[in-house]
Amino acid sequence: MTTYEELRQRALSAPGGWQAVESPSRPRVAVYFGTCSIAAGAGDTLAALRSEVEQRRLDVDIGIAGCNGLCYAEPLVEVAWPGSRRILYGKLTADKVSRLVEEALAGDGLCPDLALASLPPVGESPPAKGDAGVDGVPPIGSLPFWAPQVRRLMANCGVIDPENIDHYVARGGYSGLARALTMAPEEITKEISDSTLRGRSGSDFPTGRKWDFLRGATREPKYLVCNADEGDPGAWVNRMLMEGNPHAILEGLAIGARATGASHGFVYVREEYPLCFERLNKAIDQARERGFFGQNILGSDLSFDAHVVRGAGSYVCGEESGLIASIEEMRGMPKIRPPYPAQSGVFGQPTNVNNVETYADAALVLGHGLEWYTSLGTERNKSTKIFSLSGDVQRVGVMEVPLGYPMDKLIFEAGGGLPEGRTLKAIQPGGPLAGILPAEHVGLPLEPEAFREKGVQMGGGGLVVIDDSACIVDLSTYFGWFVEDESCGRCTTCHGGTQRLVEILRRWTRGEGRESDFENIKLLGNTLLYSNCVHGQAAPTVALNTLTFFEDEVREHVFEKRCRAKVCKGLIRYQVSQQRPELADAEAICPTQAVVKKNDGYEIDQSLCIKCNACREVAPQAIEVVDAFA
Amino acid sequence: MLDTEATLEIKHLIADLKPGEGDLLAALHRLQEHYGYVPPVAIPVVAEHLKLGTARVYGTVSFYSELRLTPPPETTISWCSGPACCLKGSENVRLILEAVLGVKMGESTEDNRLGLHLAQCNGTCDLAPVVWINGRALGRLSAADAVRLARELSPKANPPPAGKDGRSPS
């Protein structure tokens, strides 16, 4: 039998493992490697680094880490020197690699122009604003995007190699599981309940109570499901954890197994996250190999294993009964509840479903204890939550803040506010089913109750910022289209209701609104509540919020056939405002040959124009957008 | 069922998967990785192997948007349908791709050289609006970038007037 302490010592002393990160004996370069950094070119950066270092025969370690959430500065590369000087370089595309190697690795060890921030020694929290930093490079804590963050769930993101279990264990990982194994199952669920932890996917259901349901179920085997089908567009909170700190999720699952008596876990990862699939599979193999998964875990009577199921592209599989159907080799269509999963889940067996972040939080509760966990947050919502910030905002990325943190500070301070010259119009939190908030509510504290009061859900952590160049009717149509397109089709209420809803919205974008539409949308909203699952029930939320918060703009569309943002294609027209030489470029760029030269100059053939804006990009002073019905 | 070379290969690919363990999606992924799509001839083979009805297997393939029953085009342009992309002009990008390439979202050209695929958001929102060309991201596309990209990928469709604007997107 191997004890946790023995495993930890082994992880700390593993050759080439954690030591090389914590106290490097030679320079170490880590490329932050995740889905978004790869899209930004991190793969090319890594390849260029390897070949450059090899060519110059430098004595340097090259490794990877998960992303740390600064998406706006990707690709990110960290250079650590013996003596714990760590510098983070931003926007480090492959073309800058030779300069970095020349100056930061072969030279005196610093490339100030490309440096984004200095990082604290591993294991220490970053110094705050005002601190000197290292060699004139400001500390990461002084970056506005980092300043408000408290990193608990993401403590390892951008620090450890997510594909190396030794890194996680060396940082104290799996100590929560070791502790859980000394506790009775009901003690664990009580501790989870006392922590205030509730479903972080947006369900907001008390996790401890859910675990109690499964513990109380008498039929065996029992299953745990990890919902890693983060389908809400604009949310990549769970992806950050799976890619940067995958063992935290596995640890939460094993703790859940101890608390509930479950013997097997299914981690259901959406098709769009292939790197998560790969890293979780590796993590499970390593957890098994070390004895954190498998028979008689750490010498206890707990036996638990898990495997990863790869989805195939379906939004409703994020609904727990749809997800279960998908695991059961069926079309991923949600089922009518009850029975709830605790009674009849995967293959009819008692099952508990939580999402990625919830399991990772459970590992924090057990690993650090209640006092630590509840020392942050609000009265009802303790500790932290991860949010992804995107849309019309200066700095796009992922951050972890205490629950209850004011949303306006997150958007305007951390995110840097809106693009130059724009004002805030709305915020779309938590995916297409959660609703849309007007700018006046931007000061809400980030906790579920505050959002619910306004008829909106906070959801899983996506925050899409919307500026005044967007049209609310266009957006409402967009979200309406999404829920209609992703309706599974099982219940007529949902698939018919969402179709009728999006038909009305589409008519508004064409100037074909009717007085009766307002009542009909409310009627659809009430009818959709009778859908089988939350997909249909929540489908009209955005449209109903639009009527509540943006009535003037909707009425303009319906009664004046006018789109103030000049976005709705049916309500606008492109025309030549001034004969200028750059109209030749407009003619050349037009994808449909709609910009035509006649005897007395250029004009736009309205029968050919698709209103794609390409001409106006190349000839902004010669082409204007006007109301089609003026 | 009488085995052919094709069915034998399919059986071999999924030989280690077992009935009743939730392996259907894994089997379909494996076939799609091997062939680029799920060959229709595989449906009864998978059904027999996993002891499921053929309708159940076909129903599963047709339900999920990332499984396909026909060979993929040589070049797939995946267009991100997410909200950040939407705010940054992805609808214009879509209109342009469809107009220049002459295919609608979800379709391929007749020679199957090029196809447009509706992709879901994966959180690369800093690059919005983004498309992926056979998996490689191309982000922050302006409408003009989209026109140039589409023309580059489809040189025969809708050529620009002689001597004009053939630059690549940045």
* Nearest CB neighbour to A617, from listed B29, B100, B142: B142
Q: Is residue B169 part of a domain?
A: no
Question: How many CA atoms lie within 13 Å of A158's alpha carbon, on the beta-carbon side?
Answer: 29
Interface contact B125-A391, CB threshold 8 A: yes
Q: Are residues B112 and B51 in the same domain?
A: no
Q: How far is B115 from chain A (nearest CA, A)?
A: 18
Residue where one domain finishes, among candidates B37, B63, B89: B63
- pLDDT for A14 equals 86
- pLDDT for A107 equals 74
Average pLDDT over residues A94-106: 93
Q: Are residues B52 and B85 in the same domain?
A: no
- pLDDT for A345 equals 97
Q: B59-85, pLDDT tens digit by residue?
A: 999 999 999 999 999 999 999 999 999
* Closest residue in chain B to residue A462, using alpha carbons only: B123
Please report the DSSP string for A480-500 in residue order. HHHHHHH--SSSHHHHHHHHH
User: Is the pLDDT assigned to residue A422 strictly greater than 50?
Assistant: yes
Q: Is residue B101 part of a domain?
A: yes
- pLDDT for A2 equals 83
Q: Are residues B46 and B92 in the same domain?
A: no
| Parallel/antiparallel/unpaired status of strands A462-467 and A424-429 | antiparallel
- Token duo for residue A625: 């957008």
| Parent domain of B124 | 75-153
Average pLDDT over residues A130-156: 90
Q: What domains appear along chain A, each with residue ranges and CATH number? A: 4-142 (3.40.30.10), 165-372 (3.40.50.11540), 384-467 (3.10.20.600), 472-560 (1.20.1440.230), 569-627 (3.30.70.20)
Q: Is residue B165 part of a domain?
A: no
Cβ proximity of A294 and A286 under 8 Å? no
What does the alpha-carbon distance between residue A318 and residue A339 come to, in Å, rounded to a whole number? 18
Cβ atoms within 10 Å of B2's Cβ, excluding its own: 4
User: Is the pLDDT assigned to residue B155 strictly greater than 70?
Assistant: no
Interface contact B60-A397, CB threshold 8 A: no
Average pLDDT over residues B18-27: 94
Q: Is residue B162 part of a domain?
A: no
- pLDDT for A28 equals 92
Give chain A positions within 8 Å (CB) of B122: 35-36, 236, 239, 272-273
Interface contact B29-A312, CB threshold 8 A: yes
* Closest residue in chain A to residue B144, using alpha carbons only: A614
DSSP H or E run through A329: none
User: Is the pLDDT assigned to residue A525 strictly greater than 60?
Assistant: yes
Cβ atoms within 10 Å of A114's Cβ, excluding its own: 18
DSSP H or E run through A44: helix A42-55
Interface contact B64-A271, CB threshold 8 A: yes
| Parallel/antiparallel/unpaired status of strands A572-576 and A397-402 | unpaired
Cβ proximity of A39 and B123 under 8 Å? no
Q: Higher-confidence residue: A109 or B40? A: B40
User: Is the pLDDT assigned to residue B164 strictly greater than 70?
Assistant: no
- pLDDT for A15 equals 80
Lowest-pLDDT range of A126-130, A418-422, B88-92 = A126-130
pLDDT band at A561 (very low <50, low <70, confident <90, very high): very high
Q: Higher-confidence residue: A18 or A276? A: A276
- pLDDT for B154 equals 84
pLDDT band at A131 (very low <50, low <70, confident <90, very high): low
Interface contact A585-B165, CB threshold 8 A: yes
Q: Are residues B100 and B144 in the same domain?
A: yes
User: Is the pLDDT assigned to residue A579 strictly greater than 50?
Assistant: yes
- pLDDT for B2 equals 74
Q: Are residues B52 and B89 in the same domain?
A: no
* Nearest CB neighbour to B122, from listed A272, A310, A611: A272
Q: Are residues B138 and B80 in the same domain?
A: yes
**Among candidate residues B140, B66, B83, the one with its CA nearest the CA of residue A273:** B66
- pLDDT for A129 equals 55
- pLDDT for A133 equals 75
For an interface test with B, the pick among A433, A589, A596, A611 (most B C-beta atoms closer than 10 Å) comes out as: A589
Q: Are residues B59 and B89 in the same domain?
A: no
Scanning B21-60 for CB atoms below 8 A from A yields 22-26, 28-29, 50, 52, 56, 59-60
Q: Higher-confidence residue: A213 or A107? A: A213
CATH of the domain at B135: 3.40.30.10
- pLDDT for A120 equals 87
Average pLDDT over residues A171-178: 97
* Nearest CB neighbour to B84, from listed A234, A266, A327: A234
Q: How far is A195 from chain B (nearest CA, A)?
A: 30
Four-CA torsion A108, A113, A116, A119, nearest 10 degrees:
20
For chain B, the average pLDDT equals: 91
Q: Are residues B49 and B86 in the same domain?
A: no
Q: A435-465, pLDDT tens digit by residue?
A: 999 999 999 999 999 999 999 999 999 999 9
User: Is the pLDDT assigned to residue A527 strictly greater than 70?
Assistant: yes
Residue where one domain finishes, among candidates B63, B94, B113: B63
Q: Give the 3-state secondary structure of B30-55.
A: HHHHHHCCCCCCHHHHHHHHHCCCHH
Q: Is residue B166 part of a domain?
A: no
* Closest residue in chain B to residue A395, using alpha carbons only: B126
Q: Is residue B106 part of a domain?
A: yes
Cβ proximity of A288 and A254 under 8 Å? no
CB of B161 less than 8 A from some CB of A: yes
- Token duo for residue B100: 């220049």
Give chain A positions within 8 Å (CB) of B119: 272
User: Is the pLDDT assigned to residue B163 strictly greater than 80?
Assistant: no
User: Is the pLDDT assigned to residue A512 strictly greater than 90?
Assistant: yes
Q: B113-134, pLDDT tens digit by residue?
A: 999 999 999 999 999 999 999 9
Q: How far is B147 from chain A (nearest CA, A)?
A: 6
Q: Are residues B86 and B123 in the same domain?
A: yes
Average pLDDT over residues A275-289: 98
User: Is the pLDDT assigned to residue A7 strictly greater than 70?
Assistant: yes
pLDDT band at A21 (very low <50, low <70, confident <90, very high): confident
Average pLDDT over residues A367-396: 98
Average pLDDT over residues A111-123: 90
Q: Is residue B164 part of a domain?
A: no
Residues contacting A130, CB < 8 A, separation 6+: A142
Residue where one domain finishes, among candidates B63, B85, B102: B63
Cα A560 to its chain centre, rounded Å, is: 39
pLDDT band at A355 (very low <50, low <70, confident <90, very high): very high
Residue type, A512: E
Q: Are residues B31 and B90 in the same domain?
A: no
User: Is the pLDDT assigned to residue A54 strictly greater than 70?
Assistant: yes
Give chain A positions within 8 Å (CB) of B56: 329-330
User: Is the pLDDT assigned to residue A10 strictly greater than 90?
Assistant: yes
For chain A, the average pLDDT equals: 96
Average pLDDT over residues A92-105: 95
**pLDDT cut 70: percent of chain A above it:** 98
Q: Is residue B109 part of a domain?
A: yes
The CB-based long-range contact list for A92-97 (8 Å cut-off, 24+ gap) reads A92/A45, A93/A40, A93/A41, A93/A44, A93/A45, A94/A41, A94/A44, A94/A45, A94/A47, A94/A48, A97/A45, A97/A48, A97/A49, A97/A52
- Tally of domains within chain B: 2
* Nearest CB neighbour to A36, from listed B20, B95, B124: B124
Interface contact B64-A314, CB threshold 8 A: yes
Q: Are residues B59 and B79 in the same domain?
A: no
Q: Give the 3-state secondary structure of A291-324.
A: CCCECCHHHCCCCEEEEEEECCCCHHHHCHHHHH
- pLDDT for B157 equals 52
Q: Are residues B80 and B129 in the same domain?
A: yes
What does the alpha-carbon distance between residue A584 and residue A618 come to, in Å, rounded to a whole number? 10
